[in-house]
Structure formats: C-alpha cells, structure tokens
Structure 1
C-alpha cells in the first residue's frame, strides 16, 4: 500500500463507530522532521501517517461542544481543524474531545470543520471514527481528595465536571475493526500487580491513601485505554493504542495523580510485552491478556510525562521509551518548540531535555514539555516525524500562538510509518 506525500513549505501554503464518505486531497505544512536514517528509503514512501493531538476541544458544560460544533465558525475549532488539515494524518487521536453517547460531536467536527477548507488548507475526510465512554466526570461516590465532602470534579473517577468531559476520539481513513476494539475503562488499579498505589505519609501503613472500599472500585484509567485495530491494508492491522493519563499534579505528598499517571503508562508497557506480563489485564468485555508477540501497534496520546523535565514520577514515560518492543529511533521535533523555550526562558532555561522535542506550551511551573507521543512497534519503520509548532515568523504560527491559545496548549505530533509487508488494497 505504497503512497507518497508532497511536503509544502509553511510559507507556501457506549462505543460509537461512525462511518462517513469520501477522501480529500493532501495539504500539509511541513515542520522540521526526524527520520529513522538507518532505514529510511530514498523516496517518500509511507503506508500511514499516525498522529496525536490534545486539541483542548473540551467545554465547561455538558452538551456545549455539540452546540459549538453544530455550525461552522467556532474560532477555536477552526484553528484545530486547520492544523489537522495541514498535518493531514491518516489515523488521528484527539485528546480532550468531550464524549456524547450519540457521537454527535464526532460527526459535527467532521462535517462542519474538517470537511470545510481553511485558508489554502484543503478539507480532510475520515470515513471511520470511534469514541467511547470515559471515566472523567463520572461520580465515584467517595471523598477521593480527602477534603471532607463528596462533590465536585476531584471526587470523580477522573477529574471532570460532567461525565465525558476531556474524552477521546479516533478519526481514520482506514477501516476500524469494530468487532475487535477493546476498551479498559473499568479495569481496577488495584488489580495491576505491583501497582504504585498512593500512600498516606501520616500513617505507618503502606499504600493506604485510598480505603479498601475505594480501591475495590477505583479504575486505573482516568479516561480510558482503548485498543483500536486499524486495517491499514488488506493484509495488515495496526493496533492503535490510545489513552490520556492524568496529569501528575494537583495533589499532595501522597502523589495520587503522579502514581496513577505512572501506572496508566505502565498499562501499555505490560500490554505490549507479550507472554505472561500482561496476563492480568482484563478488558471491559471480560477478555484477558495483552497483545500477542509480533502484533503491530502504535501507541498514541498525551501521556502527561516528560522523560527529562516536569514533575511526573521518575521513569514514568521511560516505561515506553525504553521498552524493547517500541521503535524510538526517531524523535519528532519542531523549530517552533526550540524557539519558544528561548523566548519564554524562565524555568525552560533550567530544563535538561531538548526543547525541539517539546509538544506542549505550559505555564510555569512546569514550563514547556514533551508529553505527547506517537510510538510505533519496533517492526514498523519510521520514515519521518514532526511536531506541528511553527516559528513565530511563520504565518502558520497564528494557529498555535501564545496564551490565550487560538487552538490548544498542546501541539499535534505526527509520524509517517512503513508497515512491513503491507499490500495495496483493503
């Protein structure tokens, strides 16, 4: 299923599966890219472009996103759509996309924004879309934050003001094998062997910040973990493994969010390990185990963890970046991220990581970080990858901007991959 792309310079340019029509012509603003130089072919041959984008399409009230997308013209949704059009991914995860059971927002964003040209960016169409319930905003019935009352978003299973806030959505040009989708919304944190359950430092007992009654119901995932099989060709399926771990902040010395973030990331590390490592995992339909050895996958999402900076639990993202089954030979970069670190200075000047790899423009602390990832399995060759973060002199910088951001405080990250053995047709 060989395809080519023409890169245009920036100065020159319950689960619901939804089917729609038509494909669109590519339109892309190129950003500085990293390549797997030892393996990259001379031609720009790819099988698929995978991307992740925390697009901040979350709203403060239930139903507001559907209302905002019900007609063209919402300024933020326009900016988000144009970024997607210019990056032109084949398979895309959007984090912070409010869930509604009817999938209205999913369809409206396609019809009124992605299918509408923005400037000289051509429309994009995704015939296959997936969304499902998440834990954000779902009341727990417990005083999870220990403030003496049971109320508010901090006592939900994942922080949120209403069920479905900060949800997820997958858009794909390739068919999604809906019968094989696995969700892990209800998998209990305490059922993970060796889980980093938070500890109340005021007591001698270990891992006791949450009561036994709370842990008996406490889900690992603050949103959900999904395995969405995408049929990239008639003979090859790639498991799109998507999630959005909780940020490791907004807690106390017990580090309840930091430890949960660590274990949400660990979930995928165990899931892709094969053998008995992931045998404890049970999906929402009752099926046990993780991927089989040799299965192709791409892990995507806002992991809320930087390998060098920020306040995530030590080694959290390294569980994936140093995993033998993950291809990390090419790291997406941008010139805009490097520029922003210099211009904003402050805590960014103290960071030890490469600012060109940053994917989020955060206030201080923690400053700008690399938190959004597209990580293929080791069998998949990386052709090219980048972070969509134009320099300020680039006209496209108006899409990313500075606070208050026209689109999101995160940047879209994409990776072009060569899927081994993929044959044309589906």
Structure 2
C-alpha cells in the first residue's frame, strides 16, 4: 500500500467468553491460543482501521486496550452495546425474567460479543454519534412483529441488538465517517419473525440515516459502512432484499471482496459466489454466507479488496469468519 491508501477492515473475531472479565483475563495471561492467533492474523493484514465484532467489551474499555497493546493502534473506541443489557421484560414470553433471551439482545452479560474500533487515524471524539439507544418503535417505518411485543416491551426495546455508531476519523485532515454496526441473527425466533424483522431494520437504518430521515444529520463527506449484518443478499434466512437494497445504493460501493485463499466450499443449493462468503458455519445450516461488509462511499476510490481467512483453526468454531478488508484512496 502507498501512503495515500487506507486499509479499512472488519472482522467478526468471536473472542467471546461465558462471563464478564474472562476475555480480559485470557488476554492478560498472554498464552491464550485464540487470542494470540487473532493478533497474529491482524498483524499480517495490518489494516489501518479495524472494526472487531463478536468481541467482549466492558464499561471502561480495559479488554479492548489490553488486546490492542500487542498491536499498532494508538486510537481506540468502544462502548458496551446492547447484547446482554437487561430490559426487565419477558421478551421471549416464556414466563421467566432475567434470562439472556430477555436482554436487549441475547447475551449472558452486558457487552458480550460487542464491538471495538482500532485505528491508526485520530478519532474525532466530539463528532461520534451513538444510535444504540434508539427504540425500535421509533425507527421510521419500523417493521415490528404484530401482536408479539406489548406497549411496555416496545417502551424499552432498542433497535440495535449490539450498536450503531458513526465514528469520524481524521484522514487527510478531513473526517472519514465509519458507520459501524452488528445486527442480530435473523433466526432463533418463531412465526412472528421478531429477529428477522429486527435484523432487516438494523441494516435499513443506514439508508434512513443517509436519507436524513433521522434526527442526526448524515455525513457530508466520505464514509464507510462496515460490520456484520448477519444478512446475505443471496442465500440464507432473513430479508435478503434489504441487503440487496443497501448494496445497490448509489451513495456507496460494493467492492465484492473475494477470498484469495482458504475460501469456503459452496453449499448445495446456494446461489452466491462462495469466494465472497465471509462466514463458514457448520453444515448443513446455515452453511457459508456473506454477512460481513466494508462498503466505501461513492466518492472514494477502491484500490483493492479481499477476505483473509486465518490459516489455522484451533478448535471447532474458532474463527468462523474471515477478515474483510478494502484499500481505499481519496479521489483527487
């Protein structure tokens, strides 16, 4: 890469543990194979900006800071998201309160499987917009499951299963907005399709934001949408048309990143190009899907892109996602 090129990446790293503080313990111990392999993979790809999803977070960012100490990232940002955050409501309607299924989204503690941003570019802290407390019912045209949630549920239930962030970083002395998110899985529900509907709205959020349909003003300069939508435009469950709609938005570009090695093998009956799949789940369901994205705005030049799969699989279900990267340059 030249000095004028910026590598932006996202990776659903799945550094998740069963309780708060356990990932931090494993990082500080310095000998956890999964942590060390993740750090080694990041060093090889060396993105200038990296959004980690599926990463346990804490209130003060200690886990993120400890992980980043072994890497070259002076600027960091995280906040505990909505996974595992208590609601006080029986959201799965099983007559019991306080279960992981009753949180804002499934989680055994607040911040489990959250997001963290690692950057070599300065973060404009005063320009950050965190939309994670937006109630789902308040999203324009919210696709709520009819008859499932009552008014009290909807008075606390947020749109973001994890988080929606607009984080500006300084690039060529101008802000580059990182529109980061992780959406819920569109499965693990019932005929009301509450997870599928929420997943669709979590991706639709960005179209509404760019339209100026929300209270916050959209970016007036270059941006990158990145993260784990849990939604494939061609295969799998969920509202695939919503992902297709975002990818076709003329305000952004789809690099159609492809794996250069270790690409998953296509599942029978799937229509998508397996080299573009970013998640390799246990067959037969859901199989391999394209769910992780880096989508630069149309006013940026795409220099190169790819999906980097870790070379090693330490044990079953470690590193089921590839790291998606895009090299961008400013258009003169």
**TM-score, normalized by length of structure 1?**
0.75
Displacement, 1:46? 4.3
SS in 1 for 2:117: strand
Q: 1:307 aligns with which of 208, 213, 233?
A: 233
Structure 2 residue 261 is the aligned partner of structure 1 residue 323? no
C-alpha displacement of 1:220 = 0.3
- SS for the counterpart of 1:374 is strand
Map of 2:164 onto structure 1: 225
Q: Is the 8 A contact 2:68 2:118 kept in 1?
A: no
Structure-to-structure mapping, 1:351-366, within 5 angstroms: 351-363=270-282, 364-366=284-286
Q: Is the 2:260–2:308 Cα contact (8 Å) retained in structure 1?
A: no
Residue 268, structure 1, aligned to residue 206, structure 2: yes
Conserved in 1, the CA contact under 8 Å of 2:24 and 2:62? yes
1:47, distance to aligned residue in structure 2 (A): 2.6
Q: For residue 103 of structure 1, report the CA deviation from its aligned partner.
A: 1.4
In structure 1, the partner of 2:287 is: 367
Q: Partners of 1:88 and 1:420 in 2: how far apart?
A: 23
Rounded Cα–Cα distance in structure 2 between residues aligned with 1:360 and 1:337:
12
Unaligned 5+ segments in structure 1 are 5-44, 115-124, 199-206, 282-287, 343-347, 390-395, 422-426
Q: Provide the C-alpha distance between the structure 2 equivalents of 1:129 and 1:299, rounded to a whole number of angstroms.
A: 18
The 8 Å contact of residues 46 and 416 in structure 1, kept in 2 or not, is answered as: no
Question: Which structure has the larger Rg over C-alpha atoms?
Answer: 1
Q: Distance in 1 between matches of 2:158 and 2:203?
A: 14
Q: Say what the alpha-carbon RMSD is for the aligned residues.
A: 1.6
Secondary structure of the 1:291 match is coil
Partner of 2:269: 350
Indicate whether 1:341 and 2:265 are aligned. yes
| Contact kept? 1:273, 1:325, Cα under 8 Å | no
Count residues in correspondence. Answer: 331
Residue 258 of structure 1 pairs with residue 189 of structure 2? no
Please say if residues 341 and 349 of structure 1, whose CA atoms lie closer than 8 Å, have aligned partners that are also in contact: no
Number of the residue aligned with 2:329? 418
SS of equivalent residue, structure 2 residue 9: strand
Instruction: State how far apart, in whole Å, the 1-side matches of 2:259 and 2:6 are.
Output: 20
CA distance in 2 between partners of 1:397 and 1:219 (Å): 37
Residue number in structure 2 paired with 1:202? none
Aligned pair 1:384/2:322, yes or no? no
Residues of 1 paired with 2:257 and 2:217: CA distance? 27
Work out whether 1:209 is the aligned partner of 2:148.
Answer: yes
Corresponding residue for residue 8 of structure 1: none
Paired with 1:212 and 1:80, the residues of 2 have a C-alpha distance of: 43
> Following TM superposition, by how much is the alpha carbon of 1:317 offset from its aligned partner in structure 2, in angstroms?
1.2
- Rounded Cα–Cα distance in structure 2 between residues aligned with 1:170 and 1:241: 11
SS of the residue 1:78 aligns to: helix
Question: Which residue in 1 is equivalent to 2:316?
Answer: 404
- State how far apart, in whole Å, the 1-side matches of 2:40 and 2:246 are: 30
Tell me what 2:8 maps to: 50
Deviates more, 1:302-311 or 1:312-321: 312-321
Q: Distance in 2 between matches of 1:320 and 1:46?
A: 28
Contact 1:46 1:383 in 2 (8 A): no
Question: Aligned partners of 2:330 and 2:18: how far apart in 1?
Answer: 40
Q: Quick one: which of 45, 57, 77 aligns to 1:130?
A: 77
Structure 1 position 322, deviation (Å): 1.2
Extract structure 1 runs of 4+ deviating beyond 3 A. 335-338
Q: How far is the alpha carbon of 1:213 from its aligned partner? A: 1.3
Query: What is the CA distance between 1:337 and its match in structure 2?
Result: 5.5
> Structure 2 vs 1, CA of residues 46 and 360 (structure 1 numbering), >3 Å: closer, same or farther?
farther
The alignment's TM-score, normalised by the length of structure 2, stands at 0.96
Matched, 1:165 2:112: yes
Structure 2, unpaired ranges of 5+: none
User: CA distance change for structure 1 residues 46 and 331 in 2, over 3 Å: closer, same or farther?
Assistant: farther
Contact between 1:387 and 1:411, CA under 8 Å: does it hold in 2?
A: yes
